[in-house]
Every structure is written in structure tokens, then in C-alpha cells.
Amino acid sequence: MLIVMRKTADEKAQEEIKSFLIERGFDIHQSTGANRVIIGVIGDTETLPEADIKAFPGVLQVVRIAKEE
Amino acid sequence: MGIDDIRDEIDRLDSELLRIFNERASLALKIGEIKKGLDLPVYDPTREKRIFARMTSENHGPLDDQAIVRLFERVIDESRRLERIMTRGEH
């Protein structure tokens, strides 16, 4: 799963979502670009409802990675 | 210095980086053990911020500060993963 943060998302918003994910046992790979932060979530993200992630402040988009057959 | 000489030097530095990454990871694991004993969270954003600030303040390039932050984000991500595995007794 990829979580794209809004340009306006501040550090507190990033910390909040990262803390949520890490506490639930997910590994994260943060990529900080010039304008945006993208958080790659590693683990069984099927248990993560998109709506819950989108409800966090600063989250622009949640992208699920398609499962390989 | 020719290309082969430069590549030899890069190989030497990569080996040194490998040793340093693992030495750092070993220390991170020790921190993880202490955190586990004290029931402290794996994620410590204040500590991460301090690392980024210190590394960018000591940075003299040619990598720019954003590149330094990105590199250390990856190092920290992997340290955190190791800590999590250790804390939960996963393999």
C-alpha cells in the first residue's frame, strides 16, 4: 500500500499516520520528495481499511498494490 | 586515477558502509531490547528528527541535505524493522 500525503501535511500529520502503522506492526518506507511525502506500507495491508487511513489528517490518496495471481 | 581505480575505491567504501550499517543495526537492536524492557514504543519521531537535523548540519556535500535525509530515512526504516522483529520475537 502507498499513502500519498498532501503537500500541506505537516510533521505532526506524518507522525500520526506513521505511529498508527508502526504500532500495528507494519514496516514503512518513507520517501520524502520536494513537494510530497509518500509512505510505503509493507505487510498484510488487507487488514487495513482504506477509509481508516484516509481519515487521517494530511492523507491525500491511498493506493493499494494489486495482488499477483 | 582511471575508472578501474575509482571503482576499486567505491568497492572499498561500499564494504566499509556495509560494516558500518551492520554495526549501527546492532546498536539499534540493543536500543530495541531496552525499549522492550521499558515497554517503550519503537517509533520515536523526536529522535529521528534529531538525527536528520544533526546529519544535515554536518553535511558538506556533494549530496544535498534532502538526499541525506532520504538516505537516513531508509537506514532508520530498516533499523525500526529490526527492532520490531526483535521486540515481537519474529524471525
| Reported pTM | 0.81
Q: Which residues of chain B have a CB within 8 Å of the CB of A15?
A: 45
- Partner B contacted by A63 (CB < 8 A): no
* Residue B77 near residue A27 (C-beta atoms within 8 A): yes
* Residue B79 near residue B28 (C-beta atoms within 8 A): yes
> Is residue A7 within a helix (H) or strand (E), and if so which, with residue range?
none
B48-86 burial, b for 16+ CB within 10 Å, e for fewer?
A: beebbeeeeeeeeeeeeeeebbbebbebbbbbbbbbbeb
What is the structure's pLDDT at B11? 97
Res A62 pLDDT > 60? yes
Res B91 pLDDT > 80? no
Q: What is the mean pLDDT of residues A46-60?
A: 90
- Partner B contacted by A25 (CB < 8 A): yes
What is the structure's pLDDT at A34? 79
ipTM tops 0.90:
no
pLDDT, chain B, mean: 90
Residue A2 CA to residue B52 CA, distance in Å, equals: 23
Place of cell 554536518: B58
Measure A51 CA to nearest chain B CA, in Å: 23
- Residues B24-57 pLDDT 10s: 999 999 988 888 888 888 888 899 999 999 999 9
